Amino acid sequence: MPMTVERAPVLAWIALGANLGDAVASVHAAIRALAALPQTTVWRVSSLYRSAPVQASGPDFINAVVAVLTRLTAPDLLAQLQQLEDRAGRLRPYPNAPRTLDLDLLCYGQSTVRSAALTLPHPRLFERAFVLRPLAEISPERVSAAALQAVASQVIERLP
């Protein structure tokens, strides 16, 4: 009988955002859904933040960042995230359209990936206050003061 080798868990960071419908409820539901993913445990969850759309129109976004420990591969985790978006009614009528749920895989351990389907770390990670502020809250070692300063002009508010 062949032995199966269990993968060591990897720490991955996921950005969450929504700006259609009850965005706060959508983000909370997505956090619960992440906790229910196979071979995945939620490790840390940031506060919720409100931010204006970046390079887009529509209502303000509700954002957060979640760190998970997962045994899923990066492509498998991405596939799970896309399924959660689909179940939340995510449509993609045009780039940067308002959305019921947006889940972005920011980092997967120390991995660097460049493929048609996935780029890690996320290519716009350091351009967005709505990602850097919540990421700095839960993993301050991953965000430099210079990175936060570079996005300081972007409007973002931590929710109570």
**Model pLDDT for residues 110-145, shown as the tens digit of each residue:** 988 898 889 899 988 999 999 999 999 999 999 999
φ, ψ of residue 134 in degrees (nearest 5): -70, -30
Catalytic residue chosen out of the listed positions 7, 22, 87, 104: 104
Sorting pLDDT into bands at 50, 70 and 90, what band is 5? low
Which residues contact residue 77 at a Cβ distance below 8 angstroms, ignoring those fewer than 6 apart?
12, 37, 40, 70, 105, 108
For residues 42 and 11, what is the distance between their CA atoms, to the nearest angstrom? Answer: 10
Residue ranges of the domains in the chain? 10-158
CB–CB of 111/7 below 8 Å?
no
Fold classification of 10-158 (topology level)? Alpha-Beta Plaits (3.30.70)
Catalytic residue chosen out of the listed positions 50, 90, 128, 133: 90
Catalytic residue chosen out of the listed positions 102, 114, 128, 158: 102
pLDDT score for 79: 96
For residues 78 and 66, what is the distance between their CA atoms, to the nearest angstrom? Answer: 14
- Going by C-alpha positions, the residue among 33, 94, 145, 95 that lies closest to residue 14 is 33
Annotation marks residue 60 as catalytic: no
User: How confident is the model over 17-42, as a mean pLDDT?
Assistant: 96
pLDDT score for 77: 97
Is 117 in a helix, a strand, or coil? coil
- Going by C-alpha positions, the residue among 98, 115, 105 that lies closest to residue 84 is 105
Annotation marks residue 104 as catalytic: yes
Q: Which helix (H) or strand (E) holds 18?
A: strand 10-18
CA atoms within 13 A on the CB side of 77: 29
pLDDT tens digit sequence for 71-82:
999 999 999 999
Q: In this model, does residue 93 exceed pLDDT 70? A: no
Report the percent of the chain where pLDDT is more than 90: 74
pTM of the predicted structure, to 2 decimals: 0.92
74-87 vs 23-35: helix crossing angle, rounded to 10: 140
Annotation marks residue 7 as catalytic: no
Q: What is the chain's mean pLDDT, rounded?
A: 91
Annotation marks residue 102 as catalytic: yes
Handedness of CA 92, 132, 84, 71 (dihedral sign): positive
